[in-house]
Each structure stands twice: as C-alpha cells, then as structure tokens.
Structure 1
C-alpha cells in the first residue's frame, strides 16, 4: 500500500541529515546529529519503574525494571520479558524504548527488564550481546528476588535489539534459560545487507541503506559477518527455538531479512506469528501517540506474550 501519511510525517520529522557522509562519519558525529524518535504519548501511570544491576562480563549492567501495578490481592509471580533496545548497535538506551516497554508491561502483564548494554564502536561485537546474555541468565536465576517467574521468560527487541534477541534465543537453546517466546520487531538479522529491500528502500525512508551499512561497520570490529551470533539468519539449524512473533515494516531496508527469518523458522518447525505492517517505516513502534499502527502493533505483540506465558 502507499506510504502512510503518519509514516511520511515521521520521515520529515526525524530523518538524519541527508548530507552526512557515511564513508567518513564517526560515532560522535552521528550521535550529535541524529535523534531517535520519541513517542508523543505521555508515559503510562499504571507501570512502576525500578532499577536493577546484573553482573556482566565487563562490570555491572544497568537494568530498568517495568512492573505492572498488581490488582488488589494479586501477589503471584509475574512472567518476565527481557527487552533489548534498538539503535544500530551504536545509539539508544532504555530511555529510547521507555514507552514501548511500559505498554508491553501493562498490556501483557509481564515484568519487562530493559538492558542498558554496551554500545559500538567503543564496545564492538560481542560486547553488547554478552551483556545481554549475562543479563538473561541472571534474570532467570534471580527472578524470585524481584517478583518474577523464572520459568516464564521471553526475549524481545527492536531493530538491532531484535538482532540480540534472535541471537540469544539461539544461544539459550543449548546452554541457557528456557524461553517461552521471542519477540522480534523489525529486526536486524543479516550483515550482508543484500536483500532486495535494501535496493528498493535504499534512501528516503528514515533508515537508509548507507546508514545501516555504517552501523554494521561500527559493530563488527573485524568479526565474521556470517557468524550466526552476528547474523542470526545465517544459522544452519533453527530447530527447537522458542515460538516467535516477527514484525516487519513495508518501507524498511530490513523488511526482507525479517520475513526471510520468519520463513526459515517456520521451515524448521518453529511456530511463528509473522506480520508485515503495510505503509509503515522502520522505527514506527516508537511513535505511540503519533502513528496509530504503533499502538495496534504493540497490542498484538503484548497479546502474543500473554498467550506464550499462559
């Protein structure tokens, strides 16, 4: 379908400076010139916020815990969703996805643990991924200390955070906590940057092909792009992974790799709920209050988590 008018308004408001030269750009320049979209909707008041720390491979990892306000008399342990924010491995923090995490916590009745992992290029692969995995394992072991159910855990993330979520689901299959679900929101899944959507939406749709390729250069730090920890789509065997919800956006360079991963999971016998959000662009889920589809999509994501935890 045509580009939605609300998505067009988002492009006009938030697209990076078109004069940025990604051949010579450094991370400080990008961070100074590019603002990740913020939601227009006010923060939800039905979710409590706490701070936690988990031991990580390079020191403590800061965590933000979202706790839905309990109904009177309800003291039962809540399921847990470990959330990884996006930002091209270079930008972002739990602040970036604050509204999204509040909505998931309230609508899915889940604790959400948002991870403030290390960023590239200062900490390239596998630093942020290792922080996220250490957090996932710590959450599973210590869930009871903050009112969580360590037997009901999901992993979730948007964009580069979706990359981490997919990679952690693969790793946890062999040596980590059992996961009930993986929620992948327009995820980054293949460092090759070669799918047709990279050519079709190379420029003019908020996340450009040159920008995404630049992000990969910052993150890889000499790592093998075909390593499935880097490119989860390249994994040889996807059997036995947790059920997945995979959302893509129609006008997004990442669209085809997200949809290819959904199909690969299905072929491996993994239950998958896959949806392309027509007329939308990368990052639309951060636009609650401006983009109607953001609320609709997050409600569907929350419903998938609730079903997984039932």
Structure 2
C-alpha cells in the first residue's frame, strides 16, 4: 500500500524542496552540519521554561564528552532523586549536536518530569565507528556511577534517541544488559537497527524523503568505512539474543527508509519477552519528531512518549 503523507507533512516536504537546500551527499560533513543546524530555527517548537540547563563534561579515555543536563521545574522524585533520560541525538552519526536537539530534550524533560542529559558523542568521518558507541556507553556508565551527585535515581535510568541516536540507545541497552548499568527502559525513535538496507522500505520511492536512500549510503560510508556492518554494535538487529533487555518504546514513521527495520526490531524485542510499546505515524517522514513548530504530530509524539516515561515510575 503506497505511503501517503499527512497534509502538513506534505506541505513541509514541499517547502524544503522549494528552499533549494543541497543534498547532504553533495557536501562535506562540516557543510552538512551547518545546514542541519540552521534548519532547527524554522522547525523546532518554542522551548518550555525549565529550572536549569547546564553543560557537563564527561570524562572519557580520549578526553571529555560534552553533554548538557536539563532539569525541569517539576520532577518525579523518590527519596529526593529523579528519573533520568540519557539522550543521543540523530543525524546519521555525521551531523547533529546538542543544539539541534535541545528543544526536544527540553520538552521531554518538562512533560516527562525527569532529568534529561543530552550527549554530544564524537561524529564521523573524523571519528568513525565505534567512536560514537564508545562515547554513548562511557557517558551512560558515568551518569549511572555519578547518579546521586546529579540528583538522579540510578534505578530509573533510561536511554533514548532518534535515528542514529536510537541506534546508539539500542546498542547501549544491549551492552548494559551484559555489563551494566541496569537500565529502566530504552526509547527508540525511528531507530537505525540494520545496515544491510535490505528491507522493502529502503527501496520504496515514497520513503526517500529528506532522509533519502542515497544520503543513507553517504552516512553509512562516513560512519562505518570498512567496518563490518553485521557487527551488532553497528546493527543491533544482528545481536544474538534480545532477552533480558529493558522495556522499550519504539516509534516508526510511514515515509521513512528505516520504517521496516524499526518495526522488525520491535518484533525481535517482543518475541524475546521484552515489554514493548509500539507507535507508528503512517503519514510522517523521517525526522519529523524534532519539527514541532511545523508538525503537530511531533508534539503529539512528545506528549505520548512523556506519558510512557511516567509509567516507568
């Protein structure tokens, strides 16, 4: 059945086409980052008022990992400690940063009534796989080890992200299951889970919107280089076992090349006995989640995810 965009998504897609933005695969990585960063001005919704937004520097073998901690005015505290979402931004492991995903992190903190820590992991091609994975794991373990000092309840630690960030969250969840820390949940927003790109949604013309089929190859080449795309740290769908993973929220979009692999990953988790909340937005394209100024479905997604976060305790 052909994918049909919602009217608002179709209008946004048309506006992006008419704006004449060059395809990322025709640019250098720094140029693509600049274009992506600039787009947030027209697409990000107004941020909510928070108690604070502060920088963090997380120690790592290579130096420090920049991060930002968002604390809302209302927190769901137990014994003085609050739940925390460690968030990894999307952008194909090549583009995106703390600023591009600041508003969505602020909204999740505000509506979910929890602390959000956004992680600025190293990007490719300057730092290829598994640098981003290493940073995501290191950052999560540091937050867990320093939870009390940060006002965080280590028993209510969640990982999450969108697209490439969803990939990193899934990989961190797999790593943490076997080596700690214990996680309360994983939030996977249209996650990249399988670099084979063999699913039907990678071939449908209707899914090649903004995140086009060709730019996915550009991202993959920058990130993986000569690495094995079957390595589960790159393609978490290739993991041998999904049992014992924390509860998951998996979101997919209809006009998205990653749609089928996200759907498949949710099924893998369910079949392994993992509690899964699955939400599909049939008329939206990849990347809509951060576009709350233009797409009300993005705001609905944030509200629904925040409600799910509250069910975790």
* TM-score, scaled relative to structure 2: 0.92
Which residue in the other structure is 1:57 paired with?
A: 61
CA shift at 1:26, angstroms? Answer: 3.6
Whether the 8 Å contact between 2:232 and 2:239 is mirrored in structure 1 is: yes
Whether the 8 Å contact between 2:50 and 2:70 is mirrored in structure 1 is: no
Which residue in the other structure is 1:222 paired with?
A: 226
Whether the 8 Å contact between 1:46 and 1:69 is mirrored in structure 2 is: yes
Instruction: Give the secondary-structure state (helix, strand or coil) at the position aligned to 1:177.
Output: coil
Which residue in the other structure is 2:147 paired with?
A: 143
Instruction: Give the secondary-structure state (helix, strand or coil) at the position aligned to 2:232.
Output: coil
CA distance in 2, matches of 1:300, 1:193: 29
Q: 1:63 to 1:131 in 2, by over 3 A?
A: same
CA distance in 2, matches of 1:12, 1:294: 18
Whether the 8 Å contact between 2:266 and 2:276 is mirrored in structure 1 is: yes
Instruction: Give the secondary-structure state (helix, strand or coil) at the position aligned to 2:136.
Output: helix
Which residue of 135, 138, 155 maps to 1:134? 138
Structure 1 residue 124 corresponds to structure 2 residue 145:
no
Which deviates further from its counterpart, 146-155 or 203-212? Answer: 203-212
Structure 1 residue 170 corresponds to structure 2 residue 180:
no
Whether the 8 Å contact between 2:93 and 2:123 is mirrored in structure 1 is: yes
CA shift at 1:94, angstroms? Answer: 1.2
Write the deviation string for residues 74-111 of structure 1: whole angstroms up to 9, x where unpaired.
Answer: 98211111000000100000111111111110111110
CA distance in 1, matches of 2:33, 2:50: 32
Unpaired runs of 5+ in structure 2?
none
CA distance in 2, matches of 1:159, 1:287: 14
Alignment of 1:1-310 (within 5 A): 2-14=4-16, 20=23, 22=25, 26-34=28-36, 37-38=39-40, 39-70=43-74, 76-201=80-205, 204-308=208-312, 310=313
Q: 1:227 to 1:43 in 2, by over 3 A?
A: same
Whether the 8 Å contact between 1:84 and 1:162 is mirrored in structure 2 is: yes
Whether the 8 Å contact between 1:14 and 1:37 is mirrored in structure 2 is: no
Whether the 8 Å contact between 1:193 and 1:213 is mirrored in structure 2 is: no
Q: 1:287 to 1:33 in 2, by over 3 A?
A: closer
Whether the 8 Å contact between 2:136 and 2:168 is mirrored in structure 1 is: yes
The count of aligned residue pairs is 307
CA distance in 2, matches of 1:154, 1:215: 26
CA distance in 1, matches of 2:104, 2:51: 12
Write the deviation string for residues 156-185 of structure 1: whole angstroms up to 9, x where unpaired.
Answer: 000000000000000000102101100000
Instruction: Give the secondary-structure state (helix, strand or coil) at the position aligned to 1:13.
Output: helix
Which deviates further from its counterpart, 171-180 or 144-153? Answer: 144-153
* TM-score, scaled relative to structure 1: 0.93
Write the deviation string for residues 215-274 of structure 1: whole angstroms up to 9, x where unpaired.
Answer: 011100221100000000111110000010000000000000000000011011111011
